[in-house]
């Protein structure tokens, strides 16, 4: 399942390492889904949708946009 999901994501990505970035996105999203829906960790389960979305967006952005097409994130902002 994850390989197929990663392949589908990769086909929608531009730039270098699309296959790797697609699989990393699949791993990230699968892990979030697992913790929220199956394991039910308290912090993620209790987080409001806007807060969770803001964090996930920040994690996904570097994988979605090729490195050469985005501004580096300063370590003080991480």
Task: Write out pLDDT tens, residues 12-69.
Answer: 888 888 888 888 999 999 999 898 888 988 898 899 999 989 999 999 888 888 766 6
- Taking residue 39's Cβ as centre, other Cβ atoms within 10 Å add up to 11
Measured between alpha carbons, how far is 25 from 45 in angstroms, rounded to an integer? 20
The pLDDT of residue 38: 87
The pLDDT of residue 76: 57
Residues 56/32, Cβ–Cβ less than 8 Å: yes
Measured between alpha carbons, how far is 5 from 7 in angstroms, rounded to an integer? 5
67-76 long-range contacts (CB < 8 A, ≥24 apart) are 67/15, 67/16, 68/15, 68/16, 69/15
- Label residue 11 by pLDDT band (50, 70, 90): confident
Q: Is the pLDDT of residue 78 over 60?
A: no
End-to-end CA distance of the chain: give it in Å, rounded.
31
């Amino acid at each position: 399942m994850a390989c197929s999901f990663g392949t589908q994501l990769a086909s929608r990505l531009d730039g270098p390492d699309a296959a790797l970035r697609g699989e990393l996105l699949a791993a990230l999203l699968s892990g979030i889904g697992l913790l929220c829906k199956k394991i039910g960790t308290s912090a993620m389960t209790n987080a409001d949708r806007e807060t969770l979305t803001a964090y996930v967006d920040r994690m996904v952005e570097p994988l979605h946009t090729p490195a050469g097409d985005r501004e580096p994130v300063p370590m003080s902002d991480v």
